[in-house]
Amino acid sequence: MYLQLHRLTIHLNSEDTAVNQAWQWLFSGWLVDESAQVDIRLQMNLVDELPPLPTSPPVFTDSRPLPNDIGVLSVYAAGPDVVWLHYHDGALVQASLAATASPPTIRGVVIPSALTYGRLEDITFTSLAPALRRRGYYLVHAFAAAKDGRAVLIVGASGSGKTTSGLSLLLGRWQLLANDILLLENRDDGLYALPTPGGVSIRPATFDLLPALRNWLVVRSSGGSVAVSAQQLTRGQRAEPARVAAILLPQIEATRPYSHLQPANRAITFVRLLEESADRWDAAALDGHVDVMEQLSRQTAVYHLHLGQDVAKLPELIAGVWE
């Protein structure tokens, strides 16, 4: 299958139905039947267990926990400009860090457990990230929404209220750009947030805080989380790229009845952006990536978003600083 990701065409290839079905759901609305030109190739097959890891120690380890309390990623050198990406929950991918004009081929294997928790989305984008950076696209973990041609990014770790805040904006007639993994592109007048495919897992507490969400999505939750794709959230109406105008750093304060915004320090915002974006193991592209995140922190208005119980009124709160 072929993923048309703005000006890039990515050939996604797998011999396994489960991987193909996961990709088809994740990239619904972004797939094309065929393409005369391919910019990046990604091959991912399903295996019962991962092959042995390299015997040399990893050059990088990200120990941030996943939902099952294991780390995220270890990176091993596999030769000049080649790395093995070991996703601790069950994937091993070989990626090139070379800057070449020819389409790179990224090859990997994944075990069935890594197809849960929406992990294939992160595995796919992280594996593609080096090739994307070398073609002018930068990734950051953020919920992004647009209104009147401007974008706001909500940047925070899992559990910070990022998705709930973003869904509140969508209920307030903002347009979705991305739920969790966002593409950025540097243009003549600044950094733009690009609509990016993906999925979103909506927790029961979010439905409690945003009761209108249940009817808007036409879902009937049995009490657990509900997974929807970006295509479902947008009803197929993709937003246009928008210049990033504001960054919100959410923090849940459940005992407060009202949410409020507080101006944030740009240096702190810059550090937070790096935490949610930079692949430190991609040393050749790191300087350029840091420059982009610094530019983003300077280009935007930045706020701490203190989230109380009135999350449904977040569009009104942001309107006060958006005009």
Residues 225, 284 within the same domain: yes
Q: Residue 102's pLDDT is what?
A: 87
Q: How confident is the model at residue 158 (pLDDT cuts 50, 70, 90)?
A: confident
In the predicted model, what is the mean pLDDT of residues 26-30?
Answer: 93
Q: How confident is the model at residue 266 (pLDDT cuts 50, 70, 90)?
A: very high
Nearest-CA neighbor of 175 among 149, 213, 202? 149
Residues 169, 263 within the same domain: yes
On average, the pLDDT of the chain sits at: 90
Nearest-CA neighbor of 264 among 306, 216, 293? 306
The one-letter code for the residue type at 247 is: I
In the predicted model, what is the mean pLDDT of residues 46-73?
Answer: 81
Question: What pTM did the predictor assign?
Answer: 0.93
Pairing of strands 242-252, 301-307: parallel
Q: Is the pLDDT of residue 294 over 60?
A: yes
Residues 98, 199 within the same domain: no
Residues 56, 202 within the same domain: no
User: What does the alpha-carbon distance between residue 144 and residue 163 come to, in Å, rounded to a whole number?
Assistant: 10
Instruction: List the CATH number of the domain containing 297.
Output: 3.40.50
Q: How confident is the model at residue 259 (pLDDT cuts 50, 70, 90)?
A: very high
Domain stop point among 97, 114, 135: 135
Q: Residue 261's pLDDT is what?
A: 95
Q: Which two tokens stand for residue 253?
A: 């304060």
Residues 162, 305 within the same domain: yes
> What is the chain's length?
323
Residues 127, 194 within the same domain: no
Q: Enumerate residues 6+ apart whose C-beta is below 8 A from 282.
A: 97, 129, 130, 133, 289
Residues 229, 281 within the same domain: yes
Residues 149, 32 within the same domain: no
Least confident of 78-87, 142-151, 212-221: 212-221
The C-alpha angle with vertex 311 and arms to 310 and 313, in degrees rounded to 5, equals 75
Domain stop point among 135, 167, 183: 135
Residues 8, 118 within the same domain: yes
Q: Residue 67's pLDDT is what?
A: 53
Q: Is the pLDDT of residue 69 over 60?
A: no
Domain stop point among 76, 109, 135: 135
Most confidently modeled range among 73-77, 215-219, 232-236: 73-77
Nearest-CA neighbor of 27 among 171, 202, 168, 178? 178
* Domain count along the chain: 2
Q: Residue 218's pLDDT is what?
A: 63
In the chain, what percentage of residues exceed pLDDT 90? Answer: 70
Residues 105, 214 within the same domain: no
Least confident of 23-32, 155-164, 219-228: 219-228
For 237-264, b/e burial (b = at least 16 CB within 10 A) is eebebbbbbbbbbbebbeeeeebebeeb
Q: Residue 184's pLDDT is what?
A: 97
Residues 263, 229 within the same domain: yes
In the predicted model, what is the mean pLDDT of residues 268-289?
Answer: 92
pLDDT tens string 181-202: 999 999 999 999 999 999 888 8
Domain holding 121, by residue range, is 2-135
Q: Is the pLDDT of residue 106 over 80?
A: yes
Q: Residue 117's pLDDT is what?
A: 67
Residues 167, 45 within the same domain: no
Say if CB 16 and CB 46 are below 8 A apart: yes
In the predicted model, what is the mean pLDDT of residues 266-271?
Answer: 95
Alpha helix (H) residue ranges in 102-183:
119-133, 162-171
